[in-house]
A and B are shown apart, each in its own frame.
Chain A
Amino acid sequence: EADIYQTPRYLVIGTGKKITLECSQTMGHDKMYWYQQDPGMELHLIHYSYGVNSTEKGDLSSESTVSRIRTEHFPLTLESARPSHTSQYLCASGGQGSSGYTFGSGTRLTVV
């Protein structure tokens, strides 16, 4: 079944640690996205990719980085986590303009 997967679902880590949030999709979509969702629910686009070796920064400045070496995989890395990074991170993939996105279940990150 075509789907999009995020791991881990929950993560609690200490300040200064390096972490990678995983996102994989089996739908063959070229376009993938990372959103940060604040406690007030609003979604902020932090990174996106239109294909292999393509990455762009989104509307919200983020200290994270992404890579797109394979179509199906779009991991997000924080080199040095801080409490301000505590949030929910949502990954999505999409096809053509009218098809919308498919979202993963999210990773809830807590930095202590």
Chain B
Amino acid sequence: GDSVTQMEGPVTLSEEAFLTINCTYTATGYPSLFWYVQYPGEGLQLLLKATKADDKGSNKGFEATYRKETTSFHLEKGSVQVSDSAVYFCALRVGNSGNTPLVFGKGTRLSVIA
């Protein structure tokens, strides 16, 4: 079945450090790919997405590129801030009808220290 594997946390970085959170996927079809962020005490928020190979999603300084050849969608940010401390989820969805639920990774907790 479809699945998402993301790097285990927690990840602890100093402010202004470079961030990479790895995400790879297995899908029976041609998926759309997503990154969600969950701040403490909140629900998940869509951070960025990409719907086809070589697409780059970006938002709030975060970027991820849909790599079909390596089945990956790694999240990157050049300079993290304390306010980026949160849990990050990679997810996929196969098909355009919306009749399949999103498949989530297990989440990666990021802590940024000043």
Contact = CB atoms under 8 A, between A and B. Distances in A.
Interface in A4-46: 6, 30-31, 33, 40-43, 45
On chain B, which size bracket covers the interface? 20 to 34
B93 interface: yes
Contacts of B100: 97
A69 B89 CA distance: 31
B44 A103 contact: yes
A84 interface: no
B107 A103 contact: no
22 contacts: A30-B98, A41-B38, A41-B106, A42-B104, A42-B107, A43-B89, A43-B104, A45-B101, A90-B43, A90-B44, A92-B43, A94-B98, A94-B102, A96-B98, A97-B94, A97-B97, A98-B96, A99-B98, A101-B46, A101-B102, A103-B43, A106-B42
Interface of B: 32, 34, 36, 38, 41-46, 49, 51, 87, 89, 91, 93-102, 104, 106-107, 109
Interface of A: 6, 30-31, 33, 40-43, 45, 48, 50, 58, 90, 92, 94-106
